[in-house]
């Protein structure tokens, strides 16, 4: 075990399995006391998008594959905490729904009561769904955006006072490459992750003088959701596939697990990264990439104001010189 986070107290939401579990384990391996979290103990392990009706459309071979793979993702906050303790670390589980403002407060206060304060908050919890925009329901939109950024806000809102009191804090939020759009058909998930990024930019500026950094990682990793992505398009009609092309963004067997990049999240939580804030990182396997900060890359100006005719003439040689739209990148 390392010591980069000795004496620190961390909360990791969505840490029952997958990315959150890997991050919680990595923080504990560096000496942090970790409070793990997910909504509730796992009773029956299922995927999010493959209900009984959709599973019935799978071939026997694919159903067997589904059952084999989903059985690998049966953990919850308590099993993660137990694994940390078995490895010699200190951890406790706190079940609760971060989309509820008061529940989020209870989770944060529980960490402080158990271990004295809250130094590190890693928000990994998430929800998603696939649908073309004309079929996204209000329920789906609210479910996904209720976790990101709303649930993340809830946790941050209650954790920051503890961090300010100590003059030290690390907030690390999980986004997704989906914030850039692409072939996927899940606008609600794109919006949720874009909201996480923008909230993090704002908080990074607001909280830096208080000794608190705020960063984002946008992972690609094999998790339980990867099973959904592998099978979803095989059990829905062609106008409902998860991507415009009907081909998954990344195949299940081609996706790396989250453990290789989890230590980078522990690095961001350490003193070594005290000046790193307001950044978004892409993480996948052993790959770590840093996105450029948003900036204006082209301008045009008319001191007398614009008319449509002026814009038609000027825009191609100013704003749109060497321009490629988002579908051409």
Across the range 158-168, mean pLDDT stands at 98
Please tell me whether residue 57 adopts helix, strand or coil conformation. Answer: coil
Sheet arrangement for strand 212-219: 91-93, 33-36, 9-13, 120-123, 169-174, 212-219, 280-284, 287-290
Across the range 62-86, mean pLDDT stands at 92
Supply 156's token pair.
Answer: 């941050």
Supply 100's token pair.
Answer: 């509820």
Could you tell me if 103 and 140 lie in one domain? yes
In the predicted structure, residue 213 carries a pLDDT above the cut 90: yes
Q: Provide the H-helix boundaries in the chain.
A: 18-29, 52-55, 60-70, 77-86, 101-115, 138-145, 152-166, 187-207, 224-231, 262-268, 308-314
Across the range 176-186, mean pLDDT stands at 89
Tell me the pairing of strands 120-123 and 91-93: unpaired
Which of 7-21, 68-82, 276-290 has the least mean pLDDT? 68-82
**Range(s) of the domain holding residue 155:** 9-41+76-221+256-295
Angle, alpha carbons 142-198-251 (nearest 5°): 70
Give domain status of residue 217, yes or no: yes
In angstroms, the Cα distances linking 202 to 48, 207, 277, 294, 295 are: 31, 9, 11, 13, 15
- Assign 97 a pLDDT band (cuts: 50, 70, 90): very high
Which of 75-84, 93-102, 129-138 has the least mean pLDDT? 129-138
Across the range 288-306, mean pLDDT stands at 96
Could you tell me if 273 and 188 lie in one domain? yes
Which of 58-62, 138-142, 166-170, 198-202 has the least mean pLDDT? 58-62
Burial (Cβ within 10 Å: 0-12, 13-18, ≥19) of residue 11? buried
Could you tell me if 217 and 301 lie in one domain? no
Neighbours of 327 (CB within 10 A): 8
Give domain status of residue 197, yes or no: yes
Distance separating alpha carbons of residues 195 and 189, to the nearest angstrom: 10
Across the range 212-226, mean pLDDT stands at 93
Query: What percentage of the chain has pLDDT greater than the value 90?
Result: 76
What confidence score (pLDDT) does residue 225 get? 84
Give domain status of residue 48, yes or no: no
Could you tell me if 209 and 301 lie in one domain? no
Could you tell me if 117 and 172 lie in one domain? yes
In the predicted structure, residue 156 carries a pLDDT above the cut 90: yes
Please tell me whether residue 290 adopts helix, strand or coil conformation. Answer: strand
What are 241-295's pLDDT values in tens digits? 888 887 777 888 889 999 999 999 999 999 999 999 999 999 999 999 999 999 9
Domain count of the fold of the chain: 2
What confidence score (pLDDT) does residue 53 get? 87
* DSSP bridge partners of 315: none
In angstroms, the Cα distances linking 277 to 134, 193, 323 are: 37, 18, 30
Distance separating alpha carbons of residues 20 and 23, to the nearest angstrom: 5
Tell me the pairing of strands 9-13 and 33-36: parallel
What confidence score (pLDDT) does residue 252 get? 86
Could you tell me if 24 and 112 lie in one domain? yes
Give domain status of residue 62, yes or no: no
Domain containing 14 — which CATH number? 3.40.50.720
Across the range 123-146, mean pLDDT stands at 95
Supply 217's token pair.
Answer: 């990682």
Could you tell me if 33 and 127 lie in one domain? yes
Across the range 187-210, mean pLDDT stands at 97
**Torsion sign across C-alpha atoms 110, 45, 149, 255:** positive
Give domain status of residue 132, yes or no: yes
Could you tell me if 155 and 28 lie in one domain? yes
């Amino acid at each position: 075990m390392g010591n980069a986070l000795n004496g620190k107290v961390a909360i990791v939401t969505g840490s029952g399995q997958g990315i959150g579990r890997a991050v919680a384990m990595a923080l504990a391996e560096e000496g942090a006391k970790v409070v793990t979290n997910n909504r509730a103990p796992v009773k029956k392990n299922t995927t999010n998008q493959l209900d009984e009706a959709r599973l019935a459309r799978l071939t026997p071979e694919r159903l067997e594959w589904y059952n084999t793979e989903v059985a690998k993702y049966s953990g919850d906050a308590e099993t993660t905490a137990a694994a940390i303790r078995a490895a010699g670390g200190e951890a406790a589980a706190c079940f609760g729904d971060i989309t509820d403002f008061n529940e989020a407060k209870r989770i944060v206060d529980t960490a402080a009561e158990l271990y004295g304060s809250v130094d590190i908050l890693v928000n990994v919890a998430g929800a998603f769904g696939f649908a073309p925009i004309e079929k996204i329901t209000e329920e789906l939109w609210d479910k996904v955006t209720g976790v990101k950024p709303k649930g993340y806000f809830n946790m941050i809102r209650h954790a920051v006072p503890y961090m300010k009191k100590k003059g030290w804090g690390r907030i690390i939020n999980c986004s997704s490459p989906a914030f850039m759009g692409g072939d996927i058909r899940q606008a609600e998930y794109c919006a949720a992750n874009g909201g996480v990024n923008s909230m993090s930019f704002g908080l990074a500026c607001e909280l830096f003088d208080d000794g608190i950094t705020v960063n984002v990682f946008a992972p690609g990793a094999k998790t339980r959701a990867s099973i959904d992505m592998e099978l979803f398009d095989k059990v829905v009609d062609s106008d409902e596939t998860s991507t415009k092309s009907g081909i998954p963004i990344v195949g299940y067997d081609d996706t790396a697990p989250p453990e290789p990049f989890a230590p980078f999240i522990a690095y961001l939580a350490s003193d070594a990264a005290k000046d790193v804030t307001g950044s978004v990182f892409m993480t996948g396997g052993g790959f770590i990439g840093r996105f450029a900060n948003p900036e204006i890359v082209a301008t045009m100006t008319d001191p007398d104001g614009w008319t449509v005719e002026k814009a038609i003439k000027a825009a191609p040689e100013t704003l749109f010189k060497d321009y490629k739209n988002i579908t051409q990148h």
